Amino acid sequence: MVRHQVAGRQHRDRRDRLHGVVRTAAFLDQRLARSRKQVHYHGQPDWVAKLDTIIHELYHIDPERPGIRRMERADGTYSANCHGHRFFENVVAMVHQYLESKPDPEVTDFLKYDLDELTAKQGGVVGTTFRSFPSYPQRYTQVLDPQPPADMNCRIESLKVPRVKTRFSEDDLVVRQFLPHSSHQLVRKGRHCAA
């Protein structure tokens, strides 16, 4: 028997790190008109595509337990896939609810700009990431301890023990500056951060 936990995915290859930076730049350069999201937000400004992405990513966080939100299937069981049709519908509903609340334009203003415009306007783009950026905590499979009785009628499969970090704290977070084709660490957070 196994249970799902959260662990860090390790990316040691420079191409993987660059891919994470490209994804960050792609996020900042999103336009509603150039995405599949436009069917959900007819008549909305382009920056709503970025708002959708932010809400989508935050919705992955489980409010009741540590880690990634578990998605319930129609039959009441849980799916390891956290991108079901209902997940996307809920994200769209939350985006509309937020927009209908008439948020303060100063709060959403940064969403109107791409990476180059934000850099010119603010002097750069920084964000808190995991030290091993673009790694992130994710679900992984772990052996259940204690194991159920041997007389249970179930299939037994061998399990590879993950060779990745499985516990995280504030010491695993850093502040990075994002540039068009790279990023670099600025400040460590947690107990190592300067006073």
Q: 92-119, pLDDT tens digit by residue?
A: 999 999 999 999 999 999 999 998 898 8
DSSP character at residue 61: B
Range of the domain at 55: 2-192
Residues 130, 173 contacting (CB under 8 angstroms): yes
Query: What are the two backbone dihedrals, phi and then psi, of residue 141, each rounded to the nearest 5 degrees?
Result: -100, 135
Residue 25: pLDDT band by 50, 70, 90 thresholds? low
Q: Which amino acid is at 168?
A: F
Domain count, the chain: 1
Closest C-alpha among 99, 91, 109 to residue 44: 99
Residue 93 host element (H or E): helix 85-100
Q: Which amino acid is at 98?
A: Y
Higher pLDDT, 48 or 73: 48
- What pLDDT does 181 receive? 78
The whole-number average pLDDT for the span 65-87 is 76
- What pLDDT does 73 receive? 74
Closest C-alpha among 179, 167, 145 to residue 67: 167
Give the predicted TM-score (pTM) of the model: 0.68
The mean pLDDT value of the chain amounts to 76
Buried b vs exposed e over 147-184: b needs ≥16 C-beta within 10 Å?
A: eeeeeeeeeeeeeeeeeebeebeeebbbebbbeeeebe
- pLDDT above 90 (res 17): no
- What pLDDT does 174 receive? 87
The whole-number average pLDDT for the span 132-156 is 68
